[in-house]
């Protein structure tokens, strides 16, 4: 058995059964092994950013790692931006990078690159598989590392490690459950919450899943605390009948206003808020100057357990979140962020998975969908736009039977639009709504915030309208059916049709 085959058998034994791939010559022995051994679902991406973004979406929804298959250093490089996003999301991924044969590396053939330098900034664990004999063990260690760290384990596979004989498949390594927070942390949080001073729980990671958010809701009800979520949500189970958690705004002034009421901020699986970018004369931290930030649970802690124990300590009583009125379909309104958001919220399929990369035009979508049908909400965690379409692809593969609704700004979608082809190829139930305003609207507002009146050069650098992008043609080119909407009613009709049919569909929502 060669090293490649040992590695494939190891991944399968460790429960890793989905491979997002854009292979090259140095990975051909691994591809041949995948071909011989049944059990791995291999999903081809036309570009590596599709591969890594899909692995992020998959890992978030499946709760276990997929394996990528990337071709040498430049193949990894093309996937780095979405690995950066996945690292921020704490998504488990086994990141497999093929490389030159060990003895060929020093000869510096054209594709040879410093893979290690490129991989380390995004990886919780990196290793180069040096010997076919231990390739299986390396694979098992990579899976365990990805799971334990909730992060990216990069395994570099030189081609001769893949083709060399002597491979031994390995079984899964033991993993520990997430640690429980200690009593002192609970006691500290409880004391703050009972102090009567205004406080908020900032929930992140597992604390935004349905049961944990419900437990947080009981805590909040018992002591009057507010519930907040980070501006970038990795995965939240929300919608009608579930606990509502207010999301922190993106813009610095709005974020400061949202946090201004609170003397205390208690982190539960979230990191301390920080403004996305610095601005002259503005603070980097959004909380008020006299605020105290407290840690109840790190992202790796058992957040559900922590919130339930905190509720017991505070004497919180079981309760069900109230269900507000379902969102109503707008009628006869012009196209606006509000009318588009309300249309989607009103028609959202039950148990949809919403992937939100709608950037500036979609800032109101989250609030509008508060009482929409129960759904999961996924956002970009690392700020590197160009992940929405791939993430939707991976989420659909992880959750067959659920509709994925991919809300995309046109500028962001253009980075990795090749994902549409994978959606068509795998016949994934994804409805993509492109918010086509034909500009980098967020940058126009950032430039205006400098007090600058944009002249022709700046306008041209922030404009996507010359020439106009035709999303219906682009989707057709990749084999995805598509149509254009220019009113909320037409959007609603297309959205319903798209969600009722199998496979992907793209709606270009023309923003006036």
Nearer of residues 320 and 473 to its own copies, judged by Cβ: 473
Question: Smallest distance, Å, CB 125 to its own copies?
Answer: 16
Q: For its own copies, which is the closer residue by CB, 144 or 380?
A: 380
Q: How many residues bind its own copies (CB under 8 A)?
A: 99
- Contact criterion met (CB below 8 Å) for 327 and 368: yes
Could you give the C-alpha distances from 351 to 136, 212, 368, 492, in angstroms and in order? 38, 18, 16, 18
DSSP secondary structure, 335-393, as one string: S-HHHHHHHHHHHPPTTEEEEEE-GGGGTTHHHHTTTSSSEEEEE-SS--SS-HHHHHH
Q: Nearer to its own copies by C-beta: 469 or 493?
A: 469
Residues 14-43 that bind its own copies (CB under 8 A): 21, 23-26, 28-29, 31-32, 34-36, 40, 42
- Contact assessment for residue 172 and residue 239, using Cβ atoms and an 8 Å cutoff: no
Whether residue 257 contacts residue 295, with contact meaning beta carbons closer than 8 Å, is answered with no
> Does residue number 81 form part of the binding site for its own copies (CB under 8 A)?
yes
Cβ pair 65, 401 in contact under 8 A: no
Contact residue for its own copies among 188, 285, 288, 438 (CB under 8 A): 285
- Largest alpha-carbon pair distance within the chain? 70
H helix or E strand, kind and range, residue 73: helix 72-89
Q: Give the residue with the Cβ less far from its own copies, 286 or 327.
A: 286
Count of helices and strands (H, E) across the chain: 20, 18
How far is residue 196's CA from residue 473's CA, in Å, rounded to a whole number?
59
Burial class (CB in 10 A: 0-12, 13-18, 19+), 328: exposed
Q: What span, in angstroms and rounded, lies between the C-alpha atoms of 233 and 70?
A: 27
- Subset of 102-141 contacting its own copies (CB under 8 A): 103-104, 107-111, 113-114, 117-118, 120-121
Residue 92 contacts its own copies per CB under 8 A: no
Cα separation, 43 vs 28, whole angstroms: 15
Within positions 442 to 481, which residues make up the interface with its own copies, using CB under 8 A?
442-443, 446-447, 450, 452, 454-458, 460-464, 466-474, 476-479
Residue 284 beta carbon to its own copies: minimum distance, rounded to whole angstroms: 5
CA distance 236 to 378: 7
Q: Tell me whether residue 26 or residue 343 sits nearer to its own copies (CB atom).
A: 26
Site for its own copies in 302-341 (CB under 8 A): none
CA gap 52, 84 in Å, rounded: 10
H or E stretch at 157: strand 152-158
Task: For its own copies, give the closer residue by CB, 80 or 392.
Answer: 80
288 lies in the site for its own copies, by CB under 8 A: no
What track of x and - describes contact with its own copies for positions 187 through 226 (by CB under 8 A)? Answer: ----------------------------------------
- Per-residue interface string for the shown chain with its own copies, residues 152-191, x marking contact by CB under 8 A: -------xx--x----------------------------
Contact 58, 399 (CB under 8 A): no
CA dihedral sign, ordered 50, 51, 54, 55: negative
Nearer to its own copies, 92 or 164 (CB): 164
Interface region with its own copies, contact rule CB under 8 A, candidates 83-91, 194-202, 358-366, 486-494: 83-91
Min CB(366)–its own copies separation in Å: 17
| Span of 234-242, 271-279, 399-407, 491-499 interacting with its own copies by CB under 8 A | 271-279
Stretches 68-76, 137-145, 201-209, 399-407: which one binds its own copies (CB under 8 A)?
Answer: 68-76
Q: Under rule CB under 8 A, which residues in 366-405 are in contact with its own copies?
A: 381-384, 386
Minimum CB–partner distance for residue 151 and its own copies (Å): 15
């Amino acid at each position: 058995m060669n090293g490649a085959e040992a590695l494939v058998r190891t991944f399968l034994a460790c429960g890793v059964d989905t491979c997002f791939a854009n292979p090259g010559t140095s990975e051909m022995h691994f591809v041949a092994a995948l071909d011989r051994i049944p059990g791995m679902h291999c999903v081809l991406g036309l570009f590596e950013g599709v591969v890594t973004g899909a692995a992020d979406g998959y890992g978030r929804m499946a709760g276990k790692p997929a394996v990528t298959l990337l071709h040498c250093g430049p193949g990894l490089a093309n996937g780095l931006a979405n690995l950066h996003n996945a690292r921020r999301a704490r998504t488990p991924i086994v990141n497999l990078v093929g490389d030159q044969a060990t003895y060929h590396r020093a000869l510096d053939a054209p594709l040879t690159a410093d893979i290690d330098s490129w991989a380390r900034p995004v990886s919780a664990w990196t290793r180069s598989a040096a010997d076919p004999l231990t390739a299986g063990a390396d694979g098992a260690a990579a899976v365990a590392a990805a799971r334990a760290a909730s992060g990216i384990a990069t395994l570099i596979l030189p081609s001769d490690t893949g083709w060399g004989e002597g491979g031994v498949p390995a079984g899964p390594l033991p993993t520990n459950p997430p640690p429980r927070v200690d009593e002192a942390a609970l006691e500290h949080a409880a004391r703050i919450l009972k102090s009567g001073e205004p406080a908020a729980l900032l929930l992140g990671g597992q604390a935004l899943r349905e049961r944990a958010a419900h437990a947080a809701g009981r805590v909040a009800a018992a002591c009057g605390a507010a519930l907040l979520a980070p501006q970038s949500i990795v995965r939240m189970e929300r919608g009608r009948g579930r606990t509502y958690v207010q999301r922190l705004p993106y813009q610095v002034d709005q974020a400061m206003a949202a946090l201004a009421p609170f003397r205390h901020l208690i982190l539960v699986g979230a990191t301390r808020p920080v403004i996305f970018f610095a601005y002259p004369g503005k603070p980097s931290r959004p909380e008020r100057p006299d605020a105290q930030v407290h840690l109840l649970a790190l992202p790796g802690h058992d957040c559900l357990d922590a919130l339930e124990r905190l509720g017991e300590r505070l004497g919180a009583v079981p309760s069900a979140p109230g269900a507000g009125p379902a969102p109503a379909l707008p009628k006869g309104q012009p196209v606006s962020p509000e009318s588009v958001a309300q249309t989607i919220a009103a028609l959202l399929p039950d148990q949809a998975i919403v992937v939100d990369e709608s950037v500036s035009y979609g800032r109101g979508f989250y609030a509008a969908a508060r009482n929409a049908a129960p759904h999961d909400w996924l956002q970009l965690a690392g700020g590197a736009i160009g992940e929405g379409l791939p993430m939707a692809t991976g989420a659909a593969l992880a959750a067959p039977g659920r509709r994925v609704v991919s809300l995309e700004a046109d500028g962001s979608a253009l980075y990795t639009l090749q994902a549409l082809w994978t959606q068509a190829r795998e016949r994934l139930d994804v409805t993509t709504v492109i918010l086509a305003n034909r500009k980098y609207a967020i940058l126009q507002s950032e430039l205006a915030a400098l007090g600058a009146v944009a002249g022709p050069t700046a306008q041209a650098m922030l404009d996507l309208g010359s020439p106009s992008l035709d999303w219906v043609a682009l989707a057709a080119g990749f084999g995805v059916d598509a149509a254009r909407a220019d009113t909320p009613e037409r959007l609603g009709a297309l959205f319903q049709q798209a969600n009722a049919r199998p496979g992907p569909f793209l709606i270009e929502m023309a923003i006036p």
